[in-house]
Amino acid sequence: MAKAPVEAPAPLAGAFDVGGFRSELLRWFNENARDLPWRKTLEPYHVWLSEIMLQQTQMDRAVSYFERFLLRYPDIVSLAQAHEDEVLKLWEGLGYYTRAKNLLRAARVVLKEHGGTFPANFEAVRALPGVGPYTAGAVMSVAYGAHRPAVDANVERVFSRVLDIDRPVSAPEVKRRILAAAWELLPPGESRAFNQGLMELGALICAPRSAECQRCPVSRHCLARARGTVNLRPVPKPKPEVVRVDMACGILLTEGQVFIQKRRPNDVWPGLWEFPGGVLEPGESPEEAMVREFREETELSVRPEGKIAVVRTSYTRYRITLHGFFCRAEPGQDPKRDHRLHEAVEARLVSPTDLLTFAFPSGHARLTSRMLEDVRLQTLLSAVD
DNA sequence: TATCCGTGGCG
DNA sequence: TCGCCAAGGAT
């Protein structure tokens, strides 16, 4: 006997007022949509760029990057012709740099395979590097009005409350249920406003810590609101333990120039530039670690010439204290010719002011500005090795 | 499927 | 100072 087909659980209860939810959300969004730069047009390139920049990034931070980016690359063809270093420089400080690399790759795909016109069907958009299910749905619905849901963390939070889901939204089954609810609620012909409305609601009203239910246009549909569990939703996912790390790096000065190296493509901070350095070993001083790391990464022997600054930075679960030093090559070496790279794909000697044209991870960028302000810099630069 | 990728703001 | 993030995708 054949197995009985597994019935997909109806995401919404039978009594759920789908029509009311749709019209109340659409009305609210129509009256409360923020005036954002990427909402000025429905140009697919603008919508796509904004969605990539907004991945894991707060809206306020993305706005200035978006405007600068469009000034430099007004259309996809100009972006496709760009150099990766320049794209990364425009992305500097925004984080998740693979996004920028994939953006450039995708622009080149659009140029070669779609004649420079952004594709207008879901599968082609989804196939672009850096475009996942959320971004494909968002671009298709916002740029073209396609009947596709766009479920991001905002929408997951909204539904975790509307449906009063008592498990972390990271669970695949919960994600499936929320996606199904998003499909069921999606109003034919109005996906553009509806998807943006859900996200806007999550950003402005149904916020992570401070849900303002008294201002919420759909609170009468919200199960968590009825049960008094709003502040318990979404159920948080257990977080990995924070790891504290001390690092040290050396800014090597030679003949008025500074040594930098470019990080490998598949590592942390892919394609960004940095000063050689690394993690302190147990019992090691920052100076000792800097000298050791410099030798391991470049085969150059250096000696410290004074501390520049200590900057704090972090990524994912790491909290980093970065010690920055001036340093100088030991006699008998020419940094330009004698380096052998082990942790980088390229090295350069550049003048201190030219450092500002290279993209650095945040910690190294702040160290750079501290160095440029340092009164000892000119003396050290002009000194003979 | 769990983990990895950044960052600056906020209470 | 510190914990907790905030509009995902790739592997």
Mean pLDDT for each 10-residue chunk of chain A (385 residues)? 42 86 96 91 95 91 94 97 96 94 97 96 96 95 96 93 91 91 96 95 89 93 93 85 89 95 91 94 94 97 95 84 95 95 96 94 93 90 73
Quote the DSSP letter at residue A250.
E
Token pair 């998807």 in the structure block, residue: A195
Q: Cis (ω within 30 of 0) for the bond into A234?
A: yes
CATH of A18-232, one of 3.30.70.580, 3.40.50.620, 1.10.340.30, 3.40.30.10: 1.10.340.30
Domain boundaries, chain A: 18-232, 243-382
- Considering only residues 71-100 of chain A, list those whose CB is below 7 Å from strand C: 96, 98
Rounded CA separation A294/A303 (Å): 10
CA distances from A293 to A126, A197, A249, A254, A286 (A): 41, 51, 8, 18, 10
Rounded CA separation A77/A298 (Å): 38
| CB-strand contact A152/C, under 7 Å | yes
CA-to-C1' distance for A99 and B3, Å?
A: 18
Per-residue pLDDT, A3: 33
Q: Which of A297, A286, A370 is nearest to A320 (CA)?
A: A286
Q: What are phi and psi of A71, to 5 degrees?
A: -65, -40
Rounded CA separation A239/A225 (Å): 26
CA-to-C1' distance for A123 and B11, Å?
A: 43
Q: Which of A27, A69, A77, A35 is nearest to A52 (CA)?
A: A69
Would you tell me the crossing angle of helices A18-32 and A191-204 to the nearest 10 degrees? 70
| CB-strand contact A58/C, under 7 Å | yes
| CB-strand contact A97/B, under 7 Å | yes
Q: Among all strands, which nt has the closest C1' to A99 (CA)?
A: C9
CA-to-C1' distance for A147 and B9, Å?
A: 36
Q: Among all strands, which nt has the closest C1' to A173 (CA)?
A: B1
CATH of A243-382, one of 2.40.30.20, 3.40.50.10680, 3.90.79.10, 3.40.50.300: 3.90.79.10
CA distances from A239 to A11, A29, A180 (A): 28, 33, 27
Instruction: Tell me the H-state helices in chain A.
Output: 18-32, 44-54, 59-72, 76-80, 84-91, 98-113, 122-126, 133-144, 153-162, 172-185, 191-204, 223-227, 286-298, 335-338, 362-373, 377-382
Rounded CA separation A165/A362 (Å): 38
Q: Left (φ > 0), alpha (ψ -120 to 50) or beta: where does A171 sit?
A: beta
Residues of A marked as catalytic: 51
CB atoms closer than 10 angstroms to residue A357 = 11
Token pair 């100009």 in the structure block, residue: A78
Question: Sign of the CA dihedral A142, A51, A138, A127?
Answer: positive
Q: Among all strands, which nt has the closest C1' to A361 (CA)?
A: B6
Per-residue pLDDT, A11: 73
The token pair that represents A287 in the structure block: 């100076």
CA-to-C1' distance for A366 and C2, Å?
A: 21
CA-to-C1' distance for A165 and C3, Å?
A: 25
Q: Protein footprint on strand B: which nucleotides are under 7 Å from a CB?
A: 1, 3-8
